[in-house]
Structure 1
Amino acid sequence: MNKDLFTVVGHPLPKIDAWAKVTGETRYADDLVLPRMAYGKLVRSAHAHATIRAIDTTRARALPGVYAVITGHDLPRVKFGILPVSQDEEALCTEKVRMVGDAVAAVAAVDEETAEAAGRLIEVEYEPLPALMSIQESLAHPEVRIHEYGDGPNVHKNVALQFGDVDQAFGASHLVREDVFYFEGNTHLPMEQHAAVAHFGPDGKLTLWSSTQTPHYVHRLLTKILDLPGAHIRVIAAPVGGGFGGKLDPFAHEIAACKLSQLTGRPVKIACTREEVFYIHRGRHPVLMWLKTGFTRDGDITGSHIRTWLDGGSYGSYGVASTFYTGVINPVTYKIPVYKFEGARVFTNKPPCGPKRGHGTPQPRFALECQLDKAAEQLGLDPADLRTRILQEPFTKTANHLTVTTIGLGECIDKVVAASGWRDKRARFGAAAATPKPLWQPRKRKGIGLAGSAYMTGAGTAIYWNSMPHSGVIVRADRSGGVSILCGATDIGQGSDSILAYLPAEVLGIEPKDVHVHPADTSLTPVDLGSYSSRVTLMCGVAAIQAATRLRTAIGRAVAARLAVAPDRVVFRERKVGVPDDWDRAVPFAQAVELGEAMHGVLAFPGSYAPPRRAGKYKGGG
């Protein structure tokens, strides 16, 4: 990118929220305090799998300082989930718990201590059921059903895709490797724990502040669970202290806070403890993987067959998408002419897994990269040379019909090999490892490795299917020369609010400090599908450029009329608007806004973006 073409984009600039964050001025959801606010706590199961026989809340309700106690029977008996195909969760379980940490009741009280004490007084009668704690256990015991739906006993989703005859490809191979790998799961662990504040006002309308990555989806869910019109619900995304995919789903604490506020007439805050975050985390799936790959003598891949088994935990979450992603991305990085993928997501009695960074792609990438190293050793090839040889070509279609446009991985590998001293270090480390040493002499081993990767960016398919834009932005100019950005995306620490300030500033020739980015608010900001899959810069950014360009056109026409020049001669720079060869007559941006408003009325323009449909006809390519 030529930085000389831009005054804002491509230049080092501070994040617009940096000062507030480093000085402690940012107010996260747990920092919110409203008048008459009550504090809520969830009562969670200590059983991994059990039937709920009875819940007695009598003693809890009698405790001084308790405002309300609810169970799942106080909510509409409607199940929910982030994906339309996996509506399997209850905010508060009514008949069965499926993991340690499942919520069964909620309390609102004068303070957190009283709410916790009341929670301890709630008596739940359980009938324990066998707990299935691994992929192997769940598949071996189909008679113990965690859910009554799915593609098989304890199988949430089965996927089977085949592109060509892999057996024929293996038969023509010089080397065929079969390997089994296991990728242990992990969690996001953002610094900020999940929290929500709900206020059911006297006008019968609900406002929820939440540390969420998807305020629009939370809004849609609340209309379903609380049986309220969407126009009576407002969801405001509080600043998010780290997300990484862990705050994408709608959660029980959000729903419980809303219901408790409705019952008490008070604002209710529920802030999860660190332990509770581990229960609801939606972290990376543990995955068992079997890979069979054929190679020519020179290292070209002839065919690949991969099987994956995902430990999905107790609920669906984004698991259907994760299952596809454990297989469909492998042919994007490397040329795999013949490909077969079989995947299964298995329910277990553990916290549900979901869309942690990469959303199912890091696990099979780890397996394939390990296998490539083993194959390179057998073929007598340098691992870096093997990878550059089999890299996918730009502007091609993969075996599973995904479109690859530009790809710069080969250049990256070349630069890494040169800058790291790859070949020299491999030779030295290998020789040192092969040199015998006395058993009593400590041996320090050194190594160097290299791996390639690819994953999806932009999320071409909406979570609920529709033909509407995925992102919307409104850019509004005011008479002081300021510009406001209204966008439904949330900044989860990745700097998207700053991007949404930089892009219109570039278009309008002003500075980022002149731009105010409003927080996502379902009553004020246009719909955005959420901050996930690295989509905000692409989708919201394009929408912001579109809206800012429309604003520039309107202002430009007004200034052109004042200067008696053609509109296409007008430029925006240095907080002024004018023509380059008569810049002394350029008007300040604030005055240009006044001229624009006099000509056009209120200067507020929308922009929207929906991604082009480039995926193939097979599922998982969206």
Structure 2
Amino acid sequence: MTRYQSTVGSRFPLIDSMEKTSGQGIYIEDMKFPGMLYARLVRSTETYAQVEEVDFSAAQEVEGYVDSLAPGEPGTGNTFGVLPISEDETPLPAPNALYSGAIVAAVACESEVGAREAALRVQMRTKKLPAVLRPKDALKETDQPIHSNTIGGTNLHKAVDQEFGDVDGAFEQADVVTGGEYVFDGINHGFTEPIGCIAVPEPNGRMSLYSATQVPHYLHRALAKVLEMPMHRIRVYKPLVGGGFGGKSDPFPHEMVAALLARKTGRPVKLIFDRDEVFLNNHGRHPTEYKIRVAADREGRLLGLDAHSRIDGGAWGSFGVVTTYYNGVLSQGPYRLPSFRYSGRRVYTNKPASGAMRGHGAVNARYALETALDEMAEKLQVDPFDLRAQNALPANTTTLNHLRITSTGFLECLERVRERSGWNEKFRKMPYGRGIGLGCGFYISGSALPIHRTRTPQSTVHIKIDVDGGVTIHSLAADIGQGSDTMLAQCVAEAMGVRIDRCRVLAKDTDTAPIDLGSYSSRVTFMAGNAALRAGEAIFRKLQRACARLTGKSAEGFVKGADETYLHLDDPGVVVPYMDALREALADNGALIAKGAYIAPKLGGAFKGSGAGLSPSYSYQAFVAEVEVDPETGFTRVDKIWAAHDCGKALNRLAVEGQLEGSVHMGMGQALTEQMVYLNNGQLRNASFLDYKIPSPVDTPEIEAIVVESNDPEGPLGAKECGEGALAPIIPAIGNAIYDAVGVRLHEVPMTPERVLKALEQKRKAEEKARAHS
């Protein structure tokens, strides 16, 4: 009896790899419709202003000009947002343009060239308003807040205060306290494909929107609200998406503008951003001021954590309420903490909005914590690995804030990366200018709570089997390049016992796909994967019954065999080919269909904010970076990264390794070069790939991806996330390696050459002062 050979853990290309690498894939830029117009946006040049009038008269003289959209027109002032708790965005100003680069109006023309010219000719009359650009100023009282939903007569958007255990007592009893204040610049996602969409009005009065989005379902809801149409009259279609990293996980004003223009003109409207507009749209990682203290006894046992964050949300709410919580709650792993206190403040400012970015809410806080732990290890004179291992959260436990820990491979991550990096032979033993550092991490496998209150599943998958044995998988889980379509196909193929090339995934269209909440918070593998597995298992049970009718054997005795066959456990000689079982099943049903759904288990405590950070499972990481620092220039070169990540189970090892390598590359950018730079008047100075310094392939070091498998008991085939958690550890690993190399700790990120030189100069002066007083 030859049983089914599982593909789990093997290495194979993504099912859409040929489509993409051959240039045959269809992205939003490739799409055209009959009679299509081209739209361009008119943007504010003022930091903060009330829009009093928009004059299109000069634009109307451009050849091919068709129509325009201005503030005050129907729908342009309707509010929306990704979080129901802070729906504060509008398609156009109502009446204020909140930052330099904010959308003010739009024009539609027969050609893209004409649209660009028309947009340049639009004139506007505005009244300047007092701008708020610094978070500390946003906390001051004002009679002109940026939004009406602010707190306490200030521009405070969200305040979070949590405390568990006796924090003050922990610091009173502590033998060692470390920490400090850290400043993190804002970061943009840097995805390759610019933002864009096409709105198509249908003859029957429906509206279709084609958009490069991570969240078709949330976009669907927002369009219904803005257009004041029922959702069944709106269709959202997601073509191939050229990267997102969180930057396409909100419904955006430009999508609403395109739909409103299409409805007004009765023609399709295409709107594609230039690169500078992508930066102005932003919704990237929040600029953050973070203060942290960590307490421990002389044996190295952690006693408490006290953290405070002040984060710059920019002009809109976006995911900011969640970010404010995540800056604190996700610091409660992967270590045991007897006490914990966190206060977070997110403010509105007159700058492009901040939102969700890969590793949402955990990255900046992780740098502060991991740096403080390295300082603690030095004070205690213990190895940084030993300190972390001593305080590791065990499996099957619960944190202070009621995060449920099931599987954990954290200790194995530490062991594997310590050995592979040659840590014991290098740490504190390398020549001046060369160093090695450790950083660890902890991240969610999807949020246990949906954004909108609902009783419906968070992920649903439908399957239809064709008469020739082909398997069509319907889902709304958004593949944005991470390989979720391949994961869905693999889960269904595994459950049914068929080849993966029989499966095709249609995860594009709200008209045909069941609800899935989208691609964010590393939720797709765990949640959509479980739904796909259950749908596949439902089909398999129908095939078992078909096999029973063909052979007279018990249905439950049939198992998956090799070469797409089904074998009976009690009689190895009974073999039913997949196609025979399918024909029998179809004869009874006319069509073979099934559904699978996933709802996260009920988790959490009974306190305010208890839902933040809840997840059915968590991933764990331990990274080591080896660097070389030039003390004359401050330039840091990363020579090699060892990246150990607990992904539960590597369904496709090639895809997992790719995610780890991508996370390292992106984390290196935040660590060393990437920052959004603003002038004193709030204008973004470096809104291009020439000026915004993303590491190139030349800058990328050798990366050794180390896959650790803890086999999560609730994950699909044992899997959990691997797309976001792996970004956070690389930044503190590099920072701690810089300290090992030249003896300075950086409290500003990115750790640019200028900042390294400044730290070295401060160290030199401090040493001279100490010598003078000795």
TM-score interval, normalised by the smaller of the two chains: over 0.9
Indicate if the aligned counterparts of 1:239 and 1:490 stay in contact, CA closer than 8 A. Answer: no
1:488 aligns to 2:476 (yes or no): yes
What code does the residue aligned with 2:476 have?
Answer: G
Which range is displaced more, 148-157 or 313-322? 148-157
Are 2:605 and 1:616 aligned?
yes
**Equivalent position of 2:258 in the other structure:** 257
1:529 aligns with 2:530: no
CA contact (8 A) 1:94 1:104 kept: no
The counterpart of 2:590, out of the listed 601, 609, 615, is 601
Alignment correspondent of 1:121: 121
Letter of the 1:323 partner, please give it: T
**Counterparts in 2 of 1:550 and 1:32: CA distance versus 1, 3 Å:** same
Q: TM-score, normalised by structure 1?
A: 0.94
Aligned residue in 1 for 2:565:
576
CA gap of 1:373–1:6, structure 2 versus 1, over 3 A, is: same
Listed one character per residue, the Cα deviations across residues 378-399 of structure 1 (whole Å, up to 9, x for unaligned) are 2212111111111122222212
Residue 591 of structure 1 and its aligned partner are, at CA, apart by 3.4
1:303 CA drift (Å): 1.4
In the alignment, the residues of structure 2 paired with residue 192 and residue 590 of structure 1 have an alpha-carbon distance, to the nearest angstrom, of 41
- Give 1:606 deviation, angstroms: 0.9
Does residue 453 (structure 1) correspond to residue 454 (structure 2)? The answer is no
SS in 1 for 2:333: helix
Q: CA deviation at 1:7?
A: 2.2
For residue 291 of structure 1, report the CA deviation from its aligned partner.
1.0
Q: Aligned partner of 2:118: which letter?
A: A
Moved more, 351-360 or 61-70: 61-70
Alignment of 1:509-588 (within 5 A): 509-573=497-561, 574-579=563-568, 586-588=575-577
State the alpha-carbon separation in 1 of the partners of residues 574 and 303 from structure 2.
68
C-alpha spacing 1:383/1:588, structure 2 compared with 1 (3 Å): same
**Is the 2:194–2:275 Cα contact (8 Å) retained in structure 1?**
yes
Contact 1:173–1:294 (CA under 8 A) maintained in structure 2: yes
CA contact (8 A) 2:51 2:95 kept: yes
Residues 89 and 253 in structure 2, CA contact (< 8 A), matched pair in contact too: no
Q: Cα gap change, 1:477/1:143 in structure 2, threshold over 3 Å: closer, same or farther?
A: same
> Counterpart of 1:507 in 2: which secondary structure?
helix
Secondary structure of 2:582's counterpart equals helix
SS at match of 1:451: strand
1:157 maps to what in 2?
Answer: 158
After the TM superposition, which of the residue ranges 36-45 and 397-406 deviates more from structure 2? 397-406
Using the alignment, how far apart are the partners of 1:151 and 1:390 within structure 2?
38
What is the DSSP-based 3-state SS (H/G/I as helix, E as strand, rest coil) of the residue aligned with 1:423? helix
Deviation at 1:183, TM superposition (A): 1.6
Secondary structure (helix, strand or coil) at the match of 1:245 reads coil
Question: Which residue in 1 is equivalent to 2:72?
Answer: 73
Change (3 A) 1:178 1:580: closer
Deviations 1:409-462 (A, max 9, x none): 112112211221212211322xx33xxxxxxxxxxx011100111122211111
Other structure's SS at 2:416 match: helix
Secondary structure, aligned partner of 1:171: helix
**Residue aligning to 1:50:** 49
Check the 8 A contact 1:161/1:341 in 2, yes or no: yes
Q: Distance in 1 between matches of 2:363 and 2:460?
A: 30
1 CA distance for matches of 2:560 and 2:404? 38
Q: How many angstroms apart in 2 are the aligned matches of 1:228 and 1:467? A: 23
| Count of residue pairs the alignment pairs up | 606
SS at match of 1:329: helix
Q: 1:134 aligned to 2:154?
A: no
Larger mean CA deviation between 302-311 and 125-134 belongs to: 125-134
**Using the alignment, how far apart are the partners of 2:539 and 2:429 within structure 1?**
61
Using the alignment, how far apart are the partners of 1:275 and 1:571 within structure 2? Answer: 56
Distance 1:292 1:142, change over 3 A: farther
The answer to whether the Cα contact below 8 Å between 2:187 and 2:284 also exists between their aligned partners in 1 is yes
What are structure 2's unaligned runs of at least 5 residues? 615-774
Match of 1:436 in 2: none
Q: Deviations over 1:17-42 (max 9, x none)?
A: 00011000110111101111111111
Task: Judge conservation of contact 2:178–2:373 (CA < 8 Å) in 1.
Answer: no
Aligned to 1:107: 107
SS of the equivalent of 1:530 reads coil
The question of 1:97 aligning with 2:101 is answered no
Is the CA contact 1:475–1:605 (under 8 Å) kept in the aligned structure 2? yes
SS of the residue 1:259 aligns to: helix
Q: 1:90-489 alignment to 2 at 5 Å?
A: 90-140=90-140, 142-143=142-143, 145-152=145-152, 153-429=154-430, 432-433=431-432, 445-489=433-477
Q: SS of the residue aligned with 1:565?
A: coil
Mapped to 2, the partners of 1:204 and 1:494 lie a distance apart of: 35
Q: 1:143 to 1:263 in 2, by over 3 A?
A: closer
Checking the alignment, whether the CA contact within 8 Å between 1:369 and 1:451 is kept in structure 2 is yes
**Cα distance between partner residues in 1 of 2:216 and 2:245:** 15
CA contact (8 A) 1:50 1:129 kept: yes
How far, CA to CA, are the matches of 1:57 and 1:295 in structure 2?
65
Q: Distance in 2 between matches of 1:583 and 1:41?
A: 67
Q: Is the Cα–Cα contact under 8 Å of residues 559 and 578 in structure 1 kept in the other structure?
A: no
Q: Deviations over 1:247-297 (max 9, x none)?
A: 010112211111111122221110111111101121011110111221111
- AA partner of residue 150 (structure 1): T
Deviation of the 1:607 alpha carbon: 0.8
TM-score after normalising by structure 2: 0.76
Shift of 1:594: 1.9
2:663 paired residue number: none
CA RMSD of aligned residues (A): 1.7
Letter in 2 for 1:85: I
Which shifted more, 103-112 or 594-603? Answer: 594-603
1:558 & 1:178 partners in 2: Cα distance?
Answer: 65
CA contact (8 A) 1:238 1:519 kept: no
> Aligned letter for 1:158?
A
Question: What displacement does 1:404 show?
Answer: 1.6
Higher alpha-carbon deviation: 454-463 or 562-571: 562-571
Distance 2:384 2:12 in 1: 39
Distance 2:583 2:467 in 1: 6
Contact 1:75/1:225 (<8 A) preserved? no
Secondary structure at the aligned position of 2:487 is classed as: helix
- For 2:9, the equivalent position in structure 1 comes to 10
- Give the SS at the match of 1:374: helix
The answer on whether the counterparts of 1:71 and 1:94 sit within 8 Å (CA) in structure 2 is no
Residue 442 of structure 1 corresponds to: none
Shift of 1:583: 7.0
Which whole-Å CA distance do the structure 1 matches of 2:264 and 2:573 have between them?
64
Structure 1 stretch 376-385 or stretch 5-14: which is displaced more? 5-14
C-alpha distance after superposition, 1:67-121 (max 9, x if no partner): 2101132232311111011111111113101112211111111111111111122
Q: Deviation at 1:141? A: 6.3
Indicate the SS of the match to 1:604.
strand
Q: Distance in 1 between matches of 2:113 and 2:175?
A: 68
CA spacing shift, 1:7–1:115, aligned 2, 3 Å: same
Q: Do the aligned residues in 1 keep the contact of 2:161 with 2:344 (CA within 8 Å)?
A: yes
Structure 1 match to 2:639: none
Deviates more, 1:59-68 or 1:205-214: 59-68
- Counterpart CA distance in 2 for 1:552 and 1:295 is 54
Q: Which moved more, 1:584-593 or 1:172-181?
A: 584-593
Hey, what does 2:627 align to over in structure 1?
none
**Unaligned 5+ runs, structure 1:** 434-444
Stretches of 4+ aligned residues off by more than 6 angstroms: 580-585
**Residue aligned with 1:455, SS:** strand
Inter-partner Cα distance in structure 1 for 2:591 and 2:144:
63
Q: Residue deviations 1:476-503, cap 9 Å, x none? A: 1111110100001110111000011111
2:84 matches 1:84: yes
